[in-house]
Amino acid sequence: MATQSANRLAGRRILLGISAGIAAYKSAQLARLLKQAGCEVRVVMTEGAQAFITPLTLQALTGEPVRTSLLDPEAEAGMGHIELARWADIILIAPATADLMARLAQGMADDLLTTLCLASEAEKVMAPAMNQAMWRHVATQRNAERLAQDGWRLLGPDSGDQACGDVGPGRMLEPEAIAAELLTAPGKGQAAAQGLHIVITAGPTREPLDPVRYLSNHSSGKMGFALAAAAAELGAKVSLISGPVSLPTPAGVTRIEVETALQMHEASQQLAGECDIFIGCAAVADYRAETAAEHKIKKREGEETLTLRLIKNPDIIAAVADRRDAAGGRPFVVGFAAETRDLEAYARDKLERKRLDMIVANDVSTAGLGFGADDNAALLMWRDGQGEGGESLPPQPKLELARAVLRQALSRLAEHPVH
């Protein structure tokens, strides 16, 4: 891993942006680690960042002058901010405050750092850092989602004790963790899934009872859409079979919209024979009405109950996993298990019973995680010719969790190709 890390970053030109958060003191160690990995590092600081750490400290660590102003006459005599934007291979902002995230999400260019971000075609990464309430605020979550859609890769934040005395998500990842992410993740032009076709199901299904009512569940589709975005980042051809949700389609993803479990089953079977990885993330209704009423079911006087006859829907993920002798072969199959108790036992049973290659298990009873939330945690389990394995992923933004799930799936696929 160390050799791969050096190859990944050696000679890369990293523009380290530092905004006004107490975590700015960690940026000095981050700059040092990047230099040790063989990077060229130049630093841009916002005005507020200089209240937490001095430009002289970063200059000593990088051996380069630190830029702090968009209107520096000496630098701008040669269009310095444009040259700096063209120079960078990677723009890394650590820490990225809530204010900076908001300005970038709106496309503002009101200081040197935001201007460079708009003017550069470099790979863009940020490590958010803020109070836990600020991170959880709906506006910050909306900005984080928008930035991810715009191509930013968000690392963290971590959870734990904060400088303000609060405890929760919002801590900037430690410099070692940020450096490790940069060292191991494929960058621009280094697509780990190039040439692979990944099919993902997402969202709920709706099973009609009559023209105005249906059976469904609380799935928002966020996890499946995060997986699709992460797969596209890695260079894969991505087909997203989505139930009825209002989320925008991630860039580079082909979306197939369905409503019922039968429609999702049909679309899955059509694509399963031509894909390399199939991820069943959708919350598919287990049952549907035996017969949907032609007209709205009316309340009847004197009747206190209503009896519905339900029949089983097809098991989509099991059907894909059972395609061993089908034309086109069988993809690597990843299932999801949303549980409220006995997470590991139920996940292992589903992994074995449905003959999956890997399963992602979520405890959806945990507040702030799972259905409808922006964060999630998971237990990964897999089985292959070498036996069983597993990995526990702590609470984190769903896009980061999606990247971790795909890294493990691609690793398992590379070691034990299905086709």
Query: How confident is the model over 223-251, as pLDDT tens digits?
Result: 999 999 889 888 899 999 999 998 889 88
For residue 281, say whether it is annotated as part of any ligand binding site. yes
Residues 44 and 123 occupy one common structural domain: yes
Residues 246 and 372 occupy one common structural domain: yes
Residue that the structure tokens 């699709």 belong to: 228
Average per-residue pLDDT for the chain: 86
At 49, the pLDDT band (50, 70, 90 cuts) reads: very high
For residue 256, say whether it is annotated as part of any ligand binding site. no
Strand pairing class (237-242; 13-18): unpaired
CA proximity to 209, closest of 274, 271, 295, 87: 295
Residues 125 and 80 occupy one common structural domain: yes
At 3, the pLDDT band (50, 70, 90 cuts) reads: very low
The number of folded domains in the chain is 2
Answer whether residue 190 is part of any domain.
no
Question: What is the phi/psi pair of residue 21, to 5°?
Answer: -135, 155
Residues of the domain holding 389: 197-293+303-415
Q: Among 156, 184, 212, give the residue marking a domain's end.
A: 184
Residues 265 and 152 occupy one common structural domain: no
All residues at 6 or more sequence positions from 302 whose CB lies less than 8 Å from its CB, including other chains: none
The secondary structure element, H or E, covering residue 180 is: helix 175-184
Residues 239 and 111 occupy one common structural domain: no
How far apart are alpha carbons 12 and 9 in whole angstroms? 5
Residues 70 and 149 occupy one common structural domain: yes
Q: Please, are residues 358 and 381 in contact by the beta-carbon 8 Å criterion? A: yes
Answer whether residue 191 is part of any domain.
no
Answer whether residue 73 is part of any domain.
yes
Dihedral sign, Cα of residue 184, residue 189, residue 192, residue 193: positive
For residue 273, say whether it is annotated as part of any ligand binding site. no
How far apart are alpha carbons 178 and 184 in whole angstroms? 10
All residues at 6 or more sequence positions from 290 whose CB lies less than 8 Å from its CB, including other chains: 309, 310, 311
Q: What is the pLDDT of residue 393?
A: 87
How far apart are alpha carbons 289 and 213 in whole angstroms? 11
For residue 317, say whether it is annotated as part of any ligand binding site. yes
Strand pairing class (123-128; 90-96): parallel
CATH code: domain of residue 16: 3.40.50.1950
- Per-residue pLDDT for 77 more than 60? no
At 84, the pLDDT band (50, 70, 90 cuts) reads: confident
Residues 110 and 245 occupy one common structural domain: no
CATH code: domain of residue 393: 3.40.50.10300
- Per-residue pLDDT for 277 more than 50? yes
For residue 354, say whether it is annotated as part of any ligand binding site. yes
All residues at 6 or more sequence positions from 268 whose CB lies less than 8 Å from its CB, including other chains: 199, 201, 241, 278, 280, 316, 319, 320
Residues 248 and 146 occupy one common structural domain: no
Residues 158 and 215 occupy one common structural domain: no
Residues 149 and 227 occupy one common structural domain: no
Residues 114 and 20 occupy one common structural domain: yes
How far apart are alpha carbons 58 and 24 in whole angstroms? 11
The secondary structure element, H or E, covering residue 392 is: strand 387-397
* pTM for the full predicted model: 0.60
- Per-residue pLDDT for 398 more than 50? yes
For residue 210, say whether it is annotated as part of any ligand binding site. no
All residues at 6 or more sequence positions from 411 whose CB lies less than 8 Å from its CB, including other chains: none
For residue 280, say whether it is annotated as part of any ligand binding site. yes
Residues 113 and 243 occupy one common structural domain: no
Summarize the confidence of residues 95-104 as an average pLDDT.
95
Q: Please, are residues 375 and 200 in contact by the beta-carbon 8 Å criterion? A: no
For residue 368, say whether it is annotated as part of any ligand binding site. no
Q: What is the pLDDT of residue 1?
A: 30
At 168, the pLDDT band (50, 70, 90 cuts) reads: confident
Q: Among 184, 208, 223, give the residue marking a domain's end.
A: 184
How far apart are alpha carbons 203 and 223 in whole angstroms? 8
Active site residues: 164
Q: Among 126, 160, 184, give the residue marking a domain's end.
A: 184
